[in-house]
């Protein structure tokens, strides 16, 4: 791109020579590959264990702080703002409002997804502000999703639930 | 302006903690530390330092997970990717530079969450130069160092066994030490050799736990407590990342100690230090570290060990807590456990293991495959 030229695109590009998959396969690049086998089993602890076990029953449970009066979701054993133990367990609803969302077309390996995934932060009915559930939406066309949309959890059949956040398959719009 | 420890709290130590997650054990330790210091973390704490290594935690960017359980939401927090004693050094500097009046240091171990411990250690090894060699558990790394060290220093199997015996028996006096036992030298010598010349019993098994310290500047400390424990000196040092260029003589500990002693005004450590808690996650490391900390001379440590010089009723009690051999390998919280014991001893709160002491040293190494570590000197 010569100096003084007016139609500079932004940002200016300097095309190089990209590596091809075949360059790597043919070992034209010197490298060493390793696939570490590192595994963990995280103890869920007091609060999240109860939460996961309630998921098996198709219920969402939270905890309550009587000082700041917040309903803490997902549940924790202490209020991080008041720095005191929680006071009670309370169920919240499996309905909520889309607080924000993204229609995502690319997988973690940067490959195109067959169908876009609609990731959403759902403000759960009954939980306090900023106590939301990040999950995915289903049974809805991407272009129909909007912030403020009311949604409801679609659960896996009870016998397939295993105490995981994926016991909810997705959240779908509530008609009307 | 001096820096003091005004509160300590801990949770554990246990071989396993199936009922609590790492946040919950940290909360337990922190709540105790704040109660001990008589402060409200939401109002009084200016800075929080957590010591954590992502690979031990199992998730990246651990910094983000620091605030909640420490009362640090909307406060300055940072993570030091190293042992607890490096965190003490960081908090010490923050207070000395007047960035904070009260700073908190935390480290924890949820080692029981790691399913593939050997593979996780291997992840710290150079992927091209070291990681591919052989299929043995990387504990061999410590055995390689031990082999060279005991050869150079003429240390016998019996002398190494004495460390295991002392620390595991000390641990019986510590209700927070899960690996205490009434083991004898004979028991050790009859136990299986797993990384010749290293026996299984010489390797600290893993443990869970959390430690929280509240540090404050001199004025605040004097308001908060009648028994401040002063952080007299801190030091940290690294050698090199490759086993083939390391000294295998704990130079990292020697240099870190020199740095800490200089700040503390200690010129003759063997005379001026009353108690020491040193990293003994492999029994021979206690020898190496005692020499590096200038608490004992090369070629003399074995004899002193045999004579009970480092025993509870000896001249210079070492690892009164039971050490890592008695308490377990607490990963980055190892130095926290060591500092905790020193502080409890200096405050006279060590129960059945209490000795007379005014100056104590805590030292931790960054474990295999490293040649790095930190030292802190505490005093009344
Ligand atoms: Zn609250």
CB contact under 8 A, B24 and A83: no
Examine the pLDDT at B163 and tell me if it is beyond 70.
yes
CB contact under 8 A, B131 and A76: no
Provide CB contacts within 8 A for B47, sequence distance 6+: B75, B76, B77, B78, B91, B94, B99, B100, B102, B103, B104
pLDDT of residue B303: 95
| Contact with chain B for residue A145, Cβ under 8 A | no
Per-residue pLDDT tens for B91-126? Answer: 999 999 999 999 999 999 999 999 999 999 999 998
The answer to whether B238 touches B369, Cβ cutoff 8 Å, is no
What residue ranges of chain A have pLDDT lower than 70? 1-13, 176
Per-residue pLDDT tens for A137-152? Answer: 999 999 999 999 999 9
pLDDT of residue A1: 42
Examine the pLDDT at B210 and tell me if it is beyond 70.
yes
Q: Which pLDDT band holds residue B301 (cuts at 50, 70, 90)?
A: very high
Per-residue pLDDT tens for B38-61? Answer: 999 999 999 999 999 999 999 999
pLDDT of residue A11: 62
| Contact with chain A for residue B119, Cβ under 8 A | yes
How wide is the angle at C-alpha A97 spanned by C-alphas A91 and A102, nearest 5°? 125
Per-residue pLDDT tens for B8-30? Answer: 999 999 999 999 999 999 999 99
Per-residue pLDDT tens for B284-294? Answer: 999 999 999 99
CA of A80 to the centre of ligand 1 (A): 7
| Torsion sign (Cα): A97, A103, A107, A108 | negative
CA of A67 to the centre of ligand 1 (A): 5
Prediction pTM value: 0.94
- Cα→Cα distances A140→A14, A123, A143, Å: 42, 18, 8
CA torsion A128-A132-A138-A140 (nearest 10°) is 60
Q: Which residue of B has its CA nearest to A76?
A: B24
Selected residue of B27, B44, B206, B331 to mutate for chain A interface (largest A Cβ count, 10 A): B27
Per-residue pLDDT tens for B223-248? Answer: 999 999 999 999 999 998 877 788 88
| Contact with chain A for residue B123, Cβ under 8 A | yes
Per-residue pLDDT tens for B249-260? Answer: 999 999 999 999
Domains of chain B, earliest start first: 3-115+206-224 (3.40.47.10)
Residue spans of the domains in chain A: they are 45-173
Residues around ligand 1, an ion, CB closer than 5 A: A 65, 67-68, 79, 81-82
């Amino acid at each position: 791109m010569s100096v003084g030229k007016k139609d500079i695109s932004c940002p200016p590009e300097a095309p190089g020579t990209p590596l091809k998959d075949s360059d790597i396969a043919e070992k034209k690049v010197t490298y060493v590959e390793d696939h570490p086998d590192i595994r963990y089993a995280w103890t869920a602890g007091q609060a999240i264990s109860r939460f996961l076990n309630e998921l098996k029953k198709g219920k969402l449970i939270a905890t309550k702080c009587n000082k700041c009066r917040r309903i803490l979701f997902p549940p924790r054993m202490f209020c991080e703002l008041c720095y005191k133990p929680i006071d009670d367990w309370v169920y919240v609803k499996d309905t909520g409002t889309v607080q924000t969302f993204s229609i995502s077309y690319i997988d973690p390996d940067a490959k195109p997804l067959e169908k876009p995934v609609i990731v959403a932060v759902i403000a759960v009915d009954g939980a306090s502000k900023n106590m939301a559930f990040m999950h995915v939406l289903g049974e809805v066309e991407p272009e129909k999703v909007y912030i403020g949309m009311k949604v409801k959890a679609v659960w896996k059949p009870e016998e397939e639930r295993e105490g995981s956040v994926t016991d909810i398959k997705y959240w779908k719009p509530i008609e009307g | 302006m001096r820096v003091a420890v005004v509160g300590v709290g801990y949770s554990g130590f246990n071989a396993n903690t199936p009922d609590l997650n790492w946040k919950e054990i940290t909360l337990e330790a922190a709540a105790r530390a704040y109660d001990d210091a008589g402060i409200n973390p939401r109002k009084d704490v200016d800075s929080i330092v957590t010591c954590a290594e992502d690979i031990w935690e199992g998730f990246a960017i651990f910094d983000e997970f620091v605030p909640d359980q420490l009362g640090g939401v909307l406060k300055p927090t940072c993570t030091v990717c190293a042992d607890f004693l490096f965190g003490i050094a960081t908090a010490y500097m923050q207070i000395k530079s007047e960035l904070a009046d009260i700073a908190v240091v935390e480290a924890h171990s949820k080692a029981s969450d790691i399913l593939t411990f050997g593979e996780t250690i291997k992840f710290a090894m150079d992927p091209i130069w070291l990681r591919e060699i052989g299929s043995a558990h990387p504990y061999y790394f410590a055995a390689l160092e031990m082999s060279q060290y005991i050869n150079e220093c003429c240390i016998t199997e019996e002398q190494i066994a004495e460390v295991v015996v002392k620390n595991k028996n000390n641990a019986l006096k510590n209700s927070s030490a899960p690996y205490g036992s009434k083991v004898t030298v004979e028991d050790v010598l009859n136990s299986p050799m797993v990384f010749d010349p290293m026996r299984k019993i010489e390797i600290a098994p893993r443990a869970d736990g959390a430690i929280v310290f509240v540090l404050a500047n001199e004025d605040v400390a004097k308001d908060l407590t009648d028994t401040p424990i002063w952080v007299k000196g801190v030091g940290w040092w690294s050698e090199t990342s490759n086993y083939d260029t390391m000294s295998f003589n704990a130079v990292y500990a020697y240099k870190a100690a020199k740095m800490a002693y200089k700040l503390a005004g200690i010129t003759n450590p063997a005379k001026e230090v009353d108690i020491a808690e040193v990293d003994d996650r492999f029994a021979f490391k206690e020898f190496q570290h005692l020499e590096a900390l200038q608490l004992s001379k090369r070629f003399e440590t074995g004899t002193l060990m045999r004579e009970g010089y480092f025993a509870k009723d000896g001249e210079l009690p070492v690892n009164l807590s039971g050490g890592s051999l008695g308490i377990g390998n607490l990963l980055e919280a190892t130095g926290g456990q060591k500092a905790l014991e020193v502080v409890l001893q200096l405050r006279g709160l060590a129960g059945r293991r209490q000795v007379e002491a005014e100056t104590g040293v805590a030292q931790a190494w960054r474990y295999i495959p490293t040649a790095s570590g930190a030292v802190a000197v505490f005093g009344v």
